[in-house]
Structures are given as structure tokens and as C-alpha cells.
Structure 1
Amino acid sequence: MKHWSCWLPGLDTLRRYQAAWLPHDVFAGLALATMLVPVGIAYAEASGLPGIYGLYATIIPLLVYALFGPSRILVLGPDSALAAVILGAVVPLSGGDPLRTVALAGMMAIVSGTVCILAGVLRLGFVTELLSKPIRYGYMNGIALTVLVSQLPKLFGFSIESDGLLRSVWATGRAILEGRTNWVAFGIGLGTLIVILLLQINKRLPGILIAVVGATLVVGALDLGPRYGVTVLGPLPEGLPGFAVPRIGYDDIWPVIIGGCAVALISFADTSVLSRAFAARLGTQADPNQEMVALGAANLATGFFQGFPISSSSSRTPVAEAAGARTQLTNVVGALAIALLLLAAPNLLRHLPNAALAAVVIAAAIGLFEVTDLKRIYRIQQWEFWLSIVCFAGVAVLGVIPGIGLAIAIAIAEFLWDGWRPHSAVLGRADRVKGYHDITRYPDARQIPGLVLFRWDAPLFFANAEFFKERVMDAVAKSPTPVRWLVVAAEPVTSVDVTAGDTLARLDETLHAQGIELRFAELKDPVKDKLKTFGLLAQLGENSFFPTVGVAVSAYLENNSDVEWEDWEDQVDR
């Protein structure tokens, strides 16, 4: 059990804080804040919430993660990968009421935070590793496309009423053809997007800040809002977020729970990958379980302070690193700078055009797409590539949350399939090659008369036990000589459950009825202990187990002296 102080890495950092780090952390925090403000507002709008709540969902997580987070430079806040999930969950339930939308999003954050904290305390940080890379690519590409499409109307200067990716594409296309595009707004949005994408080449330049400030100055100086109908953010409410318990109806509980769990899965998968990457770069040790606790605490807190679900950021964390961040004090400074903006200058961003905010989100969505590695996967293993495409199509067609559910179902099916129908082999002795090998890989390998060496390359459990028995009996039937012994080369067998144990007992009886003895080689001690518990050790006998395949072969030849067999190593010795 961890000591209580281990759950609060920020306190340990504070105890060991060096004065020389302070200028670096303060500068990095101020630099970070300049990026956090427009990004927070943009991702709130993309999630279906008023922009101010994006700043609320930035301040609180930064402060909480500074206390609970194990990484010294990881930055948490609103994230483009979550925008489509939040939007898909809260908009259909809110009925167009902004306050209801905020309450639903806040409760999603509380659900997500609770799930993450429980998983971290129970040390389930490995769970997201069960999603294979192609599956993660598939649903993230689907989310990226959904986010991108959702921002196109705002980029073109109009609004649409639609639900789902395909309907949004149709409604957007129809609006463009009907001439509803505001070309001034589109020009501002497109220009902002181009500047962001061009400046991304140089990681040290605050591309988002430069593009957004430029767009805001142009709109304000030329008075483009009233003159040309360019919609702008408007003045932000003055003040800091207050404590509030989100209240939702009974009919909303199940959709919010599902959405919160989906957010927890995505946010921790991203945070886990990002924390490991930066830990490796900084030469520190990643702690996935503490990351889950910290992420959960940040979500839980922001849910009670008028925020919405958040995650780590692969775009803002490098900004903190490049600006010279030494510790999580950088996040604290960034949070305080945003709080000061809300208290002292809430009108500073009133001319910020919505088209520019859409450009910020679209640029982030473009960064979510994974194409290069999918090309590599297509070259080396096409079925995993198509698995990724199915997950992508699931998110695109069914919606984000059902699509993620489909991805999880496919991941479980993929995992079970590998164990359900594993590889097995009959082994033989190939000349001049040490050991015993798959006869399909070594066609010239000889089988010892009357002996079948059968290797099973997986744990034995309920889903594959009958298949194991079928493969064994098939190996017996295809033996070139009448079988006396069947030896299972069991080194890959890491576990046996009750169902498989009962199947082994029946297999032994079936083989015994045919005059065949069942033996095991290289069986691991923990697995052997299980067989003893199941009563199989007594049924088979202690002399049925051998430390290696070679010892099992020697025992077989010793007990069957009439078998004619000369090993190639014996020929060499002569």
C-alpha cells in the first residue's frame, strides 16, 4: 500500500524545489497561458459549450494535476480528441439549453474522474494496453474526422442542425450549395488555419497564438463583425468558476455514464502514451496508475467547478517543455495567468472570430489523423489494417460513443480469437538442427515411430479447450505410425482453468482407451500445481511429466526398446 504522500507527487517536488528553477517555470507558465486561452475556448465551442467553460476546464485541471500528477511537465486541459465524444453525448440531451449542456458535461467529467481514480487505485493502468495500435488508430481517425466535419459550418460562417457525421456532411454541403457561406468569415478562418499549419513546422513559435491574435486584431480593427456578419466570441463573463454540483435528470444518467466511461478510456490512453514518451525523454520513470489517479482527480475537480472532461495534451505539453518548464509550477503559473485574465480583462477577446476558433480545432483534428503508420501496417499485416478501417467506419457511421464501443468489442474479439484458435504444431527431428521443430516448417524432419510430440502455443482455457482436444486427436490420426505416447510440449502453456482441466481428463481417458499414454514436457510449475489441484496429477501420475522434450523422448525410447530410432547426433558421435 502506498504511503499517503506517494499519492501527492506535487508535494514531494515542492519539498525538493530549487530556486534556480523558478524563472524557467514562471516564463514557461506565461508562455503556456497564451496558448491555453484560445485553445480552451475553441475546444469548449467544439464540445457544444460556451467558450468561457473551456477556460474553467483549463484552470482547475492545471492546479489539481500539479498536486497529483507524477509527470513534471505534462499539461492537462480540454482536448480535441474528447470534443466529439462530449458533443455527441450532451447535445442530444440538452435540448439547446446552455446551462443544461454545462451540467451534463460536468457530470460526464465527474463520471470519467471517478472511473479513472478507481482504476488507478486498483492498479488497472494496464487496461488501455489491451487496445491494439490499429484499433486505436481506427477510432481516433474516426474521432478526428468527426471533429473536423463538426467545425466546417463555423469555418464557412453559418450554422446547421444535424446529428451524426454523415448528416453533418450532407447538411454542410447543402448549405454551401444554397449560398449561405459568409466569405469574409471563411477567409478569416482559412487564413487562420493556414498560419497555424505553416507555423507548426517551427515548434518554438506559438503558431496558434499568432494566428488567433492576428485574426482578432483584423476583425476588431476593420469592424468586420457588425459590417459583414462575422460572428465573434464577445465579452467573457467576469470572475472565476464557482463550486456547483451538476444536476441532471434520471433519463440522462445512463447516456452520461457511457459517455464518461468513453472519455475515461480515450483520455487515459492518450495520457498514458504521452507520459511514457516524456518520461523516456527526461530519463524518469512513468507511473501509469498514478497518472490515472491524477487524471481522475483533475476530471472530478473540474466537474464540480463548471468544467467538462479533460485530458493531457500532446500539443501543449511540448510548448511547456520548449519554454523551459522544470516542474508543475509551470501549470500553476499558467492557471493563475488565465484566472487573472478573467478577473482583470474579460473583454480582451471580445473580437475573437468564431471562424478562427474553428480553425484552431480543425488544425488539432488534422494532427489526430494517423496515416503513415497505417500504411506500414497495411504492408506488413493487411487484416489489422482492415480492422482499423472497420473501427474508423464504426465511429464515422454509428457515432463516436457507439463507434468506441464497437472498437472495444473488436479488441476483445481480437484478444479472444488469438487465444481461441492459437497455433499448434507436431514436432519432429530435423537433421543437423538442435531440438524438435514444427514438421510443416521442416518438411524433412523425422518423427519418432509411435511418438507424437504436440506443441500448443497458448494458455489452455475454456474457449480453446475443445479445439486443443480436436488438434491432439487430429495429430494422432495423422501419425505415420501407430501411436503409443502423445507428449504435449507445454512450455507455451502459461495457465489452465477448470474447463480445460476437465477436457484434459477426458482426453486422457480417450487416448488411454486407444492404448496411448498422455505425457507432458516443459510444463511450468504453477500450471502443474493447478493440475494437482484439479486432481489430474493423481490421474496421470507423477512420471507423466518431464522437464524437457529431450528427456521425454529418452524416456519413451527407454520404455519402448523395440522402437527403431537413430538420432542424427548419435551418428555424429560415431
Structure 2
Amino acid sequence: MLKRYIPILAWLPHYTPRLCGSDLLAGIIVTVMVIPQSLAYAILAGLPAVVGLYASLLPAVAYAVLGTSRSLAVGPVAIIALMTGAALSNVATQGTSAYIEAALVLALLSGLMLTLMGFLRLGFFANFLSHPVIGGFLSASGLLIAISQLSHLLGIDAGGYTALALITHQVQQLDHINWPTLAVGASTLLSLWLMRGYGVAALTALRLPEGLARLLVKAGPVVAVVVTTLLSWQLDLARYGVATVGQIPAGLPSLAMPNIDLPLWHALLVPAMLISVVGFVESISMAQMLAAKRRERIAPNQELIGLGAANLAAAFSAGMPVTGGLSRTVINQESGARTPMAGLFAALGIGTVTLALTPLLEHLPIATLAATITVAILTLVDLPLLRQTWRYSRSDFSALAVTMLLTLVEGVEAGIIAGVSLSIALFLYRTSKPHSAIVGRIPGSEHFRSVTRHEVETVSHLALFRVDESLYFANARYLEDTLYSLVTQRPELSDVVLICSAVNLIDASALESLDAINARLKDSRVTLHLAEVKGPVMDRLKHSDFLDALTGRVFLSTFAAWSELRRPRD
């Protein structure tokens, strides 16, 4: 039981020096590479840069103890940072202590919700986010984040958390572009883009091993940070209006209880729920993909607890909402991490930097961080997904398009709520009119196919009716109308077989409809039969009076029903 809820107890007793060496190397590499990300994502959320470092300490420790993935790296990520900034802007003014306090409350609420969902085994809740909705949300968020970073690249002041607001403010400020800032941002952006696109090929052409080449390319942001920080320091770029990170307080964060302000908690409740769900979906998707490669097992409900503990740790240590990050995890995995101990080593490394080396980051240009975010985040814009979804399903594309449009125009909360709502509505609409078919026997076989698609054998007095959907409240009336119409159009009918091979569920509303169908067909001198009823469905029917009242029989197969009923009754 302890190992189930505290997964570290399952792997720590088997920890070896060899594993330690691999994890230590991965921890060092992750430490170096995620520091720019941590600073950048805190700024993206409108928080002081040091908050990103704080959010990479105790949360990583908490997840290492309670999480089930051996490769997932937890900390600030771009999407959650954007959602955090959007949520906080509605309750406090950026740059104030109230804004920072609200971030802690948001992390606390997210942690509580995730932990509660884990104990209630609600990991399935993330399934309500369909792939098109997630893809549309991530693509729109990527564009939104890139647009938001333009102001930092241009050296202008422009606020907002929607594309329209951001672009409007940026256009109004174009006369105030700071050209030195633009030079730093554009050169960094170009170099990172070239390195990401052509770096591996160039380095392998110099006969470097491909693995090392990929690692060096991923270290591009670190190189950009070092180079631009040195230039900023030597040339005193701040004197020319280039915004820098500024003085970062040295030392570890102090532990404190977030503010107990019920109106604030109420205002942040919905944003916290959305952040929790989106963070869990992003994290569990990455964790399961990596676990499949290593033939390991991920427990979604325990992952909820692990992520919840990470957010609670962030709330009590001056951090911000966190989750398992894509880029962090890829770096961690490709650096050779074998167990969650790599996350502990990375937290130790970031803690060392926070404790003693933050003065070195004082001259880091914010434009460099903006360029780093922009290059990383544009990978979320999934154009192939848009094209494929449009070609395959217009209804799914509509959910994707609505999610993207509202995310850009109204903000992340409106986008994801609308996307989920539309997906559920489209599902209910599609299943309310399920595909059904009259089938007949393919000559010389025991197979039955639609009479409109195949040359099949039929008899006038028998209708073999297949419904290709579970029966529930949304389509119960449709089933009634379809069967009544069939009987009306074919007065010679004496037997109707409802083929249930695709029926996985019959709820109470559908059961009531079946009772009504059975009674009405009986009045019309038509016998209702069932065929191919699945075991769980039959078990439920046995708990009702329907089988006792059924005028016909329940056949094991459609062929059995055909063999028994194809000859007219005397």
C-alpha cells in the first residue's frame, strides 16, 4: 500500500551507483538548460523571474517522491505560465505583492484539485479533452505566446492576454521601438532558429556523434543566455534602454502559507481547475509516451497525486503552478535520466544557482528570454493536425477551429471551455442519430451486411436491424421512431431482430424505449427479438423485467436468428 501511494519506495531500495551516475549527469544538464526556461516562463506569467527558479525546487522533489514516471521533469511550462498570467490579471495588478500572492493561491488550489482528483480516481476526466481540442488549444496558445513576446523583442510596453489586445497595444507602441533591444532579440531569435533547423546537420557534418550534436543544439538557449548576458554587461546595454532581468534575490525561498482570502479563492477556482486539467493532460501524455519506450507503467491517478503535491510544494515555497514540461522532460530523458533521482539532482543544482549564482543573471536581457520562448513555443503550432482534421472530420475541425479562435480572441479559459463543450455537444448530436442498417445474409456464408451496400439474401417477413451505437437517453427516441417507421413501411413483417453487436450500454432511458417498442410491435402483431447481446449488457437486462416481457427470443448470433426465423410461421 505504501509503495502504491509513495512510488519512491518501489525504486529507491534498488538504486545503484550506476543509476546514480546517469541521473547525476542528467541532473547537471537539466540544471543548466532549464534555468533560462524557468526565468522566461515566470516573466511570461507576469511574475518576477526568480519565481521560476523557486518553482523548480520543491515541486521537483515532491514529484520525485510521489510521481510514477521515471523521466518526467516537473516545473514551470509555457502553457501553464500563459494561463497563470491570464488568470492573475483578472484579480490583481501585475508587479504588486497581491499579484504574487494570487499566484501562490492559484498553485495551492491547483494542487488541492489534482490531489483530490487522484484520491477520487478521476484520471479519466482528462479524456473529455479530445485530441482536436488539445491540438487547437496548443496551437492557438503557441501563437498567443509568440505574439505576447513581440513586445519584449521590440522593447515596448504592451499588455493583454488576447491576440487582439496584444496586437492593438503593440501597433500603438511601434513609434517607441527600442532598436538595441530589437537587435538583441532579433539576432538571438535568428541564431536559435538556425541552430534548431540546421544545427544537427552542421555538427554531424563536422563528424560529431549525432547524440552529442542534438544535445549541443538543445544547449543553444544556454549559449544565447551566456553570450547576450556578457554583451549586456560589457556594453552596459541597460543604459540604452535594453530591459534586463535585474537584480535577482539570492537565497532559497522561505516557506509560508498562502493567503486565506475566500473571495480570491472563489475568483481563481475555475482558472485553477482548467490549469489542473490542461497541466495533467500535457504531463500524462508525455509520461505515457516515454514509459511505453522503456516498457514501464504509469498510474494516471497516482500521477494526479504527484502533480498535486508538486503544486502544493510550489504554493508553500513562493513558486507558481507547475506541471511536467515537454522540453524539460525531453532534455532529462535524452541526457540519460534513469529514475526520478535525476529530478532531485536538478532541483539541487537549481537550488545552488538560486543560492549563490543569481548575481550573474542580473544583466540578462529580457529580449533573450523572449526569443527563447518564441522559438520553443512555435513548435506547438501543429499545421499538419489542422490539415488532417479538416480532411477527415469537419465536425472535429469545427471544435478545433472554435477552440483556436476563442483562445486567440477571448483568452485561454474561454477557448478550452468552448472546445470541450462543443466536443461533447457534437458527440451527443452524432450519437443521438446513430448509424443503423437493415442487413441480409451474404449467400453461402454466416456473414450479414447492409442491404444497400451488398448483394444479400433477405425475406419479406423478417427484418434484421443493426444499430451501431450504444443505446442511451440521447438516441432512445431515435431508435423508437426508426423501428416504428420500418414496421409501417413493411406491413408484411412478422419478426424484427435487433442486432446488438455494437451496443455496449443500454441505460434506463433506452430500456424504457425498448419496453415501449416491444409493446407497440406486439400490438402490431410483430415479434421483437434480440441477437448478439454482449455479456455485460445482458447482465444488466437480467436485472429488469424486459426479458420476461420480450415477445421474442434472444439469439446468440444473427445467423442463429436467420436460421430460425427465415421461414414464415404457419
The equivalent of 1:531 in structure 2 is 541
Partner in structure 2 of residue 242 of structure 1: 254
Q: 1:465 and 2:476 equivalent?
A: yes
Task: Give the match's secondary structure for 2:86.
Answer: helix
- Letter of the 1:223 counterpart: D
Q: How does 1:62-211 map to 2 (within 5 A)?
A: 62-162=60-160, 164-176=162-174, 179-201=175-197, 202=200, 203-205=214-216, 206-211=219-224
Distance 1:283 1:191 in 2: 42
Q: Deviations over 1:17-54 (max 9, x none)?
A: 01122222222211111112111010000011110111
Is the aligned partner of 1:548 residue 2:557? yes
Give 1:569's aligned residue. Answer: none
User: Which whole-Å CA distance do the structure 1 matches of 2:82 and 2:428 have between them?
Assistant: 30
Find the counterpart in structure 2 of residue 493 from structure 1. Answer: 503
With 498-507 and 470-479 compared, the bigger mean Cα shift is at 470-479
How many angstroms does 1:217 deviate by?
Answer: 1.1
One-letter amino acid of the structure 2 residue matched with residue 148 of structure 1: A
Give the match's secondary structure for 2:289.
Answer: helix
Quote how far apart the aligned CAs of 1:87 are: 1.0
1:212-231 to 2 correspondences below 5 Å = 212-226=225-239, 228-231=240-243
2:313 is aligned to 301
Q: CA deviation at 1:180?
A: 0.8
Distance across 1 between alignment mates of 2:414 and 2:493: 52
Q: SS where residue 72 of structure 1 aligns? A: coil
Counterpart for residue 514 of structure 1: 524
Q: Which whole-Å CA distance do the structure 1 matches of 2:8 and 2:235 have between them?
A: 47
Question: What is the distance in 2 between the residues matched to 1:311 and 1:486?
Answer: 55
Among 319, 327, 339, which residue is 2:339 paired with?
Answer: 327
Match of 1:567 in 2: none
1:96 is displaced (CA, Å) by 3.4
Partner Cα distance (1:109, 1:293) in 2: 14
Does residue 395 of structure 1 match 2:407? yes
Residues paired across the two proteins, number: 553
| Aligned AA (2:429) | W
* Letter of the structure 2 residue corresponding to residue 334 of structure 1: A
Q: Distance in 1 between matches of 2:261 and 2:2?
A: 36
Deviations 1:466-519 (A, max 9, x none): 01111112222343x611011100121111122111111111111111111111
- Structure-1 separation of matches of 2:433 and 2:190: 50
Q: Deviation at 1:97?
A: 4.5
Q: State the match for 1:263 in structure 2.
A: 275
Read off the aligned partner of 1:139 and give its amino acid letter. Answer: F
- Partner residue of 2:349? 337
Counterpart position of 1:411: 423
Q: Match for 1:183: what amino acid? A: W
Say whether residues 1:435 and 2:433 are aligned partners.
no
Match of 1:217, as an amino acid?
L
Contact 1:157 1:185 in 2 (8 A): yes
1:493 and 1:164 map into 2 onto residues whose CA distance is 44
SS of structure 1 residue aligned to 2:361 = coil
* Pair 1:484 & 2:494 matched: yes
Question: Aligned partners of 1:57, 1:463: CA distance in 2, in Å?
Answer: 46
1:565 aligned residue = none
Match of residue 458 from structure 2: 447
Q: Compute the displacement of 1:98 (Å).
A: 2.7
Report the CA distance shift for 1:536/1:407 in structure 2 as closer, same or farther (over 3 A). same
User: Which runs of no fewer than 5 residues in structure 2 stay unpaired?
Assistant: 201-213
User: Offset of 1:344 from its aligned partner?
Assistant: 1.6
Taking only the aligned residue pairs, the percentage that are identical comes to 31
Q: CA deviation at 1:163?
A: 5.0
Write the distance in 2 (CA, Å) between the matches of 1:236 and 1:489. Answer: 70
Q: Which amino acid aligns with 1:461?
A: Y
In structure 2, C-alpha distance between the alignment counterparts of 1:60 and 1:35, rounded to whole Å: 18
What secondary structure sits across from 1:482 in the alignment?
A: coil
Partner residue, 1:374 = 386
Residue identity opposite 1:219 in structure 2: S
Matched AA of 2:471? L
1:162–1:62 CA distance, 2 compared to 1 (3 A): closer
Rounded Cα–Cα distance in structure 2 between residues aligned with 1:284 and 1:162: 42
SS of the residue 2:56 aligns to: helix
CA shift, 1:425, in A, is: 0.9
Q: Deviations over 1:91-127 (max 9, x none)?
A: 1211235321121111111121222222222222232
Deviations 1:330-351 (A, max 9, x none): 1111111111122222211000
Contact persistence 1:49–1:98 (CA under 8 A): no
Check conservation: 1:80, 1:364, Cα contact below 8 A: no
1:60, 1:26 → 2: CA distance?
Answer: 18
Structure 2 matches for 1:348-367, cutoff 5 A?
Answer: 348-367=360-379
CA separation in 2, counterparts of 1:237 and 1:499? 63
Corresponding residue for residue 274 of structure 1: 286
Q: 1:33 aligns with which of 31, 35, 44?
A: 31
Q: 1:456 aligns with which of 464, 467, 489?
A: 467
Distance in 1 (CA, whole Å) between partners of 2:377 and 2:173 is 22
Q: Does 1:18 align with 2:16?
A: yes
Residue identity matched to 2:152: K
| Superposition map of 1:551-562 within 5 A | 551-557=560-566, 560-561=568-569
Deviations 1:269-320 (A, max 9, x none): 1111101111112221222222221111101111111111111111121212
TM-score normalised to structure 1 length: 0.93
Describe the SS at the equivalent of 1:518: strand
Give the secondary structure class of the aligned counterpart of 2:543: helix
Q: Please say if residues 58 and 335 of structure 1, whose CA atoms lie closer than 8 Å, have aligned partners that are also in contact.
A: yes
Secondary structure of residue in 1 paired with 2:215: coil
- Which deviates more from structure 2 when the two are superposed, residues 123-132 or residues 58-67? 123-132
Specify the code of the residue in structure 1 equivalent to 2:132.
Answer: P
**Is the partner of 1:126 in helix, strand or coil?**
helix
Letter aligned with residue 190 of structure 1: A
Structure 2 counterpart of 1:566 = none
Q: Deviations over 1:147-172 (max 9, x none)?
A: 11111111110112445321111111
- Select 1:317's aligned residue among 312, 322, 329: 329
Normalised by the length of structure 2, the TM-score is 0.93
Question: How far 1:431 moved relative to its partner?
Answer: 3.2
Q: CA deviation at 1:433?
A: 5.3
CA RMSD of aligned residues (A): 1.8
Asked if 2 retains the 8 angstrom alpha-carbon contact of 1:89 and 1:259, the reply is yes
SS at match of 1:315: helix
Asked whether the equivalents of residues 435 and 550 of structure 1 are also in contact (C-alpha less than 8 Å), the reply is: yes
* 1:526 alignment partner AA: P
Deviation at 1:366, TM superposition (A): 0.6
**Using the alignment, how far apart are the partners of 2:418 and 2:529 within structure 1?**
42
